[in-house]
Amino acid sequence: MTSILTNIAAMAALQTLRSIDRNMEDTQARVASGLRVQTAEDNAAYWSIATTMRSDGSTLETVQDALGLGAAKVDTAYEAMESAIATVQEIRTKLVAAYGVGVDRAKIQEEIDQLQEQLRSIAESASFSGENWLQESISVGAAPSTPKEVVKNVVASFTRDAEGGVAVTTVDYVLDEKTVLFDLNGGKFGILDKEATAGSPADSLGFSVSTIDLKNLTGIATQLDTLVPPGPHTEEDALDTMVQFVSSQLEAMTSAASSLGSIQSRIDLQEDFVASLIDVIDKGIGRLVDADMNEESTRLKALQTQQQLGIQSLSIANTNAENILTLFRQ
């Protein structure tokens, strides 16, 4: 039946054209944005996963920055520790030189004084972003005080478990009497301000690496007579005690530098891992929501052709209705 009120063919062609236009809008949006899942309406599950993973990726980038800051702190401490070790080795060399017959120990002591000042300068300067890992208050209470531990943290990673719980993990470095050069609280538990003893902690000889004084050899020899019988002890014995003590503290400093080196290595590995993890997350998000541009461009071409055909079909349908006019012509 042909009707001038209802053009069924035109209605069908128009409906098809509307569908083609909607598909073209979607395809053009994908081509423009590069995403096939741009909003939750496109695919709620993939959009939710991608949004969460983007947030995690952004957090990991912050962790990456924190690792860089932590690495700078450790590098500063390590370089300062190496410099301090070289300075203490020089002090030991000066002490050995003091064994010589006819040497001017007063002049040697002047050089040692300068080296001791250098040690304090190194420790004070080993600060980055307000943190100094070579000097810390590690003693508690009045004399006799006791040592304590101060833990420094470097943000290492960010994790999310299967239930959605999140956590931040850290790399920890303990500041204590084995790693700190100077005890800022006056307890003398640092490697360089710890006093030499004749056996037990109560038998202090009254000098540390940072306070060694060759002018006090006679006094130390007298103390050794009291604390380490039999005597009498000579100035050379006192000098032996100084050299042995400095050597033991050098070993302690080397151990502390080794600990810093281990932290350096751990941070470097973690930086590489976090960088790789960020790339993997980005790749995973891309697999979920990125549009295949080859496919989308092909689809866009096809839809453009369908649109042209739809317009042509609508035109034909409207033309068929106009043909009815010929029936009324004379």
Has domain 72-290 been given CATH number 3.40.30.10? Answer: no
**pLDDT at residue 1, as a whole number:** 58
- CA dist., res. 22 & res. 179, Å (int): 69
**pLDDT at residue 143, as a whole number:** 66
Residue 250: pLDDT band (50, 70, 90) is: very high
Q: Who has greater pLDDT, 236 or 10?
A: 236
- Nearest to residue 160, comparing CAs of 68, 70, 59? 59
Task: Summarize the confidence of residues 230-243 as an average pLDDT.
Answer: 87
**pLDDT at residue 20, as a whole number:** 80
- CA dist., res. 172 & res. 175, Å (int): 10
| pLDDT for 236 beyond 60 | yes
Residues sharing a CB contact under 8 Å with residue 168, sequence separation 6 or more, in sequence order: 63, 155, 157, 158, 159
Task: Summarize the confidence of residues 93-99 as an average pLDDT.
Answer: 91
The domains of the chain are located at 72-290
What are the two backbone dihedrals, phi and then psi, of residue 135, each rounded to the nearest 5 degrees?
Answer: -140, 135
| pLDDT for 316 beyond 80 | no
DSSP 258-294: HHHHHHHHHHHHHHHHHHHHHHHHHHHHHHHHB--HH
Tokens of 139: 């003693």
Q: How many residues does the structure list for the chain?
A: 330
- CA dist., res. 132 & res. 151, Å (int): 12
Contacts 24+ apart (CB under 8 A), 223-227: 223/198, 224/198, 227/198, 227/199, 227/203
Task: Summarize the confidence of residues 3-31 as an average pLDDT.
Answer: 76
Measured CA to CA in angstroms, residue 296 lies from 23, 304, 305 at distances of 11, 12, 14
Classified as helix, coil or strand, 143 is coil
Contact present, 207 and 220 (Cβ < 8 Å): yes
| pLDDT for 67 beyond 70 | yes
Contact present, 123 and 77 (Cβ < 8 Å): no
- CA dist., res. 154 & res. 74, Å (int): 9
**pLDDT at residue 90, as a whole number:** 96
Classified as helix, coil or strand, 200 is coil
pLDDT, one tens digit per residue, over 253-285 is 999 999 999 999 988 988 898 889 889 989 998
**pLDDT at residue 123, as a whole number:** 94
Contact present, 202 and 144 (Cβ < 8 Å): no
**pLDDT at residue 55, as a whole number:** 86
**pLDDT at residue 16, as a whole number:** 81
- CA dist., res. 155 & res. 170, Å (int): 4
Sign of CA dihedral 247, 253, 259, 264: negative
Measured CA to CA in angstroms, residue 23 lies from 28, 30, 81, 262, 288 at distances of 9, 11, 67, 58, 20
- Please count the other Cβ atoms lying within 10 Å of the Cβ belonging to residue 273: 13
The CA-to-CA distance between both ends of the chain, in Å, stands at 23
pLDDT, one tens digit per residue, over 124-163 is 999 998 899 999 998 887 666 788 899 998 888 877 777 7
Q: What pTM does this model have?
A: 0.77
Q: Who has greater pLDDT, 29 or 83?
A: 83
Considering the chain, what is the average pLDDT of its residues? 85
Contact present, 37 and 291 (Cβ < 8 Å): no
